[in-house]
């Protein structure tokens, strides 16, 4: 008999609680991803407020279902109150479950550091308030945002409708706005970024990351598994 696949837990913002589509594209059937949905009302601080206190309970439920590591797969949900809150949330999840836990914001920071990117151009799906909070968050952790622009999408699920072409165009726009960016970051776990990453890395010759792929890499590493992918994810997924 083959060994059981490692079981990895995801807390996702939409109520549907489905595993994001990047999972099989990156990892095929190597891991058993399971998910629970928070049911946020919108991608904004007002939309996050009713569910923030439910995150740890969802982590406990995923652990009860056998998760060996757990991630909060929401970027703005985990950065909007600043780095101290993000760390406190991760620590509370770990204390409640007894397994390694992380957040998508931790994942993004880890990805940028792994790629040696300190000056980053940022394209997002967000409203302006979240863009401003992201600049502050990254700045507090030693990164310089050379330029940032968002699509102003607040409805849950709206980011998934953004085409690769639109995402590439926005990313190229923020890259062109200021010299010296060492990489591109497309922020929002709902954006489908894998195809855009491949295009941007080829066209610009710089590393590109997206929230969702970074989140998967980070939680796989937290589970003690090899995060590399032969099928997608760009430069980041060539790194152990």
pLDDT at 1 over 70: no
The class (CATH top level) of 7-103+213-234 is alpha beta
Report the CATH architecture of 107-210: 3-Layer(aba) Sandwich (3.40)
Mean pLDDT for 42-68 is 97
* CA–CA distances in Å: residue 150 to residues 105, 123, 143, 162, 175: 17, 6, 18, 12, 13
| pLDDT band, very low/low/confident/very high, at 179 (cuts 50, 70, 90) | confident
Which one, of 127, 123, 122, lies nearest residue 158 by Cα? 127
The predicted model scores a pTM of 0.97
Render pLDDT for 85-109 as a digit per residue (tens, 0 to 9). Answer: 999 999 999 999 999 999 999 999 9
In the chain, domain spans: 7-103+213-234, 107-210
Which structure tokens are listed for 146?
Answer: 């050379």
Q: Do 7-103+213-234 and 107-210 fold alike per CATH?
A: yes
- Please give the structure tokens belonging to residue 104: 């998508």
């Amino acid at each position: 008999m083959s060994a059981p696949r490692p079981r990895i837990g995801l807390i996702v913002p939409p109520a549907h609680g489905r595993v994001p589509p990047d999972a099989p594209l990156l990892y095929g059937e190597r891991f058993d991803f399971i998910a629970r949905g928070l049911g946020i009302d919108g991608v904004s601080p007002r939309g996050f407020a009713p569910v923030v206190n439910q995150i740890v309970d969802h982590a406990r439920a995923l652990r009860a279902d056998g998760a060996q590591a757990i991630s909060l797969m929401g970027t703005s949900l985990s950065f909007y109150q600043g780095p101290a809150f993000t760390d406190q949330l991760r620590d509370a999840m770990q204390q409640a479950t007894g397994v390694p836990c992380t957040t998508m914001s931790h994942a993004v920071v880890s990805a940028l550091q792994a790629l040696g990117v300190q000056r980053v151009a940022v394209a997002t799906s967000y409203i302006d308030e979240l863009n401003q909070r992201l600049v502050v968050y990254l700045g507090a952790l030693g990164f310089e945002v050379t330029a940032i622009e968002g699509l102003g999408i607040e409805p849950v699920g709206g980011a998934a409708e953004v085409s690769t072409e639109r995402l590439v165009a926005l990313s190229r726009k923020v890259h062109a706005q200021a010299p010296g960016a060492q990489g591109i970051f497309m922020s929002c776990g709902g954006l489908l970024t894998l195809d855009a990453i491949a295009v941007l890395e080829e066209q610009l010759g710089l590393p590109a990351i997206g929230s969702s792929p970074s989140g998967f890499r980070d939680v796989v590493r937290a589970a003690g598994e090899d995060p590399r992918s032969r099928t997608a994810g760009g430069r980041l997924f060539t790194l152990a």
